[in-house]
Amino acid sequence: MNKIEIVPEERQKILENPDLILLDKELLLALIKDSDFPDEEKLVDIRNVFLKKLGEKVEKLKSTNSQIIQHAYENQLGIKKIHKCCLETIETKDIDALFKFLCFKATEILGVDIIKIVVSDNMFSNFNIENCNFKSDEEITKFVQKVGITKGKSVRLKNVANDKKREHEQLITREESTKSEAIISLSINNKFKGFILFESARESTFSVDQSTDYLEFFAQITSKHLESLIHK
C-alpha cells in the first residue's frame, strides 16, 4: 500500500478534533473497510474507538433526556400548586382571611419555607397578622422599582445564597436560612400597595432563569381578589 502523507495542518486539526473522522460515516467506513495493513498488531482498532465514542454519546443523550423529563415533571407539579393556591385565594371571604391564608396555608401548598407580606399602612393598618408588615406607599413603590418590578412585570426571582446586599432589609427581614426567594407585587387600582415575599431554604426553588408566567398569574389573581375585598 502506498504511503500517503497528511498535511501537518490537517493532521493537527484531526488530533484536536477526532470527531471529524469518527462522526463522518462515509470516511469511517472507508477506513475500516480494508484491513490489508502490513503491521496489524501496531494498529488501533478504529471500530472500538468509534463504538466507545458512540456509547459516550448515547449515555450523554440519556442524561439529557432524563433532565428534560425531570424539568417537565417539576414544571407540571409547579403549575398544579399555583392553580390550587389561586383557587383557595379567591375563596377567602375577607382581607384578614386572605392574609392569613397567604402567610400560613399557602406555604404548605407552594412548598416554600415562609411567606411574608408587606402592605400599605394607610390601607391595611387595621390588621394585625403575624408575618404581615406595614409600610408607607412611598417605601413600597421605591422598593419594588428598585428590585426591577414594573406594572408589566409583577415577579422577581432571585438566588440569594451568596447575597450580601439584602436589598429589602429595611422593609422586611430575610431569614438567615433563605437561599432563594420570589418577590410578588400587589397592585390596587394599578398602584403598588405591597408585595409578597416567598422564601426557600433551597437554592433551586427560585432562580433568575426560571419562567415567571405562573407566578405572574398568581400575582394578578391575588391583586384582583384583594381589590375586590377592599371594595366589598
CATH code of residue 211: 3.30.450.40
SS3 197: strand
Q: Where are the beta strands (DSSP E) in 49-171?
A: 114-120, 132-135, 155-159
Would 30 be classed as within a structural domain?
no
CA–CA dist 173, 225 (Å, integer)? 26
pTM of the model: 0.67
Condensed to tens digits (0 to 9), the pLDDT of residues 45-81 reads 666 666 777 777 777 877 777 767 666 656 666 788 8
Residue 37 has pLDDT above 60, yes or no: no
Would 146 be classed as within a structural domain?
yes
CA 222 to chain centre: 22
Condensed to tens digits (0 to 9), the pLDDT of residues 183-216 reads 999 998 888 999 999 999 988 888 888 888 889 9
Would 186 be classed as within a structural domain?
yes
Q: Can you tell me the mean pLDDT for 9-26?
A: 73
Residue numbers of the domain that contains 161 = 79-230
- The model's confidence at residue 106, banded by pLDDT at 50, 70 and 90, is very high
Say which residue, 83 or 71, is predicted with more confidence: 83
Condensed to tens digits (0 to 9), the pLDDT of residues 111-167 reads 899 999 999 988 887 777 777 888 999 999 888 888 888 878 899 998 887 765 555
Would 44 be classed as within a structural domain?
no
197: β partners: 116, 183
Would 209 be classed as within a structural domain?
yes
- The model's confidence at residue 14, banded by pLDDT at 50, 70 and 90, is confident
- pLDDT at site 42: 46
- pLDDT at site 60: 80
Number of H helices, E strands in the chain: 9, 5
Q: What letter would DSSP give residue 202?
A: S
Would 54 be classed as within a structural domain?
no
Would 3 be classed as within a structural domain?
no
Would 65 be classed as within a structural domain?
no
Residue 183: phi and psi, rounded to 5, are: -110, 125
78: CB partners within 8 A, 6+ apart: 214
Count: domains in the chain: 1
